[in-house]
Amino acid sequence: MAVGDDEVTKAAEPGQESQRTQVRRAAVASAIGTTIEWYDFFLYNTAAALVFPHLFFPASSAYAGAMQSFATYAVGFAARPVGAAIFGHWGDRIGRKATLIITLLVMGISSAVVGILPGTATIGVLAPLSLVFLRVIQGLAIGGEWSGSVLIAMEWGDQRKRGLLGSFAQLGVPMGLVLGTAVALVAVPFAVLSIGGTAASWSTSPTRSWSLLPPPCGSIPSTVTVPASRVR
Q: What is the reported pLDDT for 189?
A: 62
DSSP 160-182: GGHHHHHHHHHTHHHHHHHHHHH
Q: What is the reported pLDDT for 12?
A: 47
Q: What is the reported pLDDT for 180?
A: 81
For the chain, which residues make up each domain, given as ranges? 21-231
Q: What is the reported pLDDT for 226?
A: 52
Q: What is the reported pLDDT for 166?
A: 80
CATH number of 21-231: 1.20.1250.20
Q: What is the reported pLDDT for 141?
A: 92
pLDDT tens series, the chain, 232 aa: 444 545 444 544 556 777 777 777 777 878 887 888 788 778 888 778 877 888 889 888 989 988 999 999 899 889 999 999 999 999 889 888 889 889 888 988 888 888 788 888 889 999 999 999 999 999 999 899 888 888 887 777 666 777 788 888 888 888 988 888 887 777 766 554 444 454 444 444 544 444 444 455 545 545 554 554 454 5
* H helix and E strand count, the chain: 12, 0
Q: What is the reported pLDDT for 135?
A: 92
Give 50-61 as a 3 state SS string. Answer: HCHHHHHCCCCC
DSSP 80-144: HHHHHHHHHHHHHHH-HHHHHHHHHHHHHHHHHHHHH---HHHHTTHHHHHHHHHHHHHHHHHHH
- Over its C-alpha atoms, the chain yields an Rg (Å, rounded) of 22
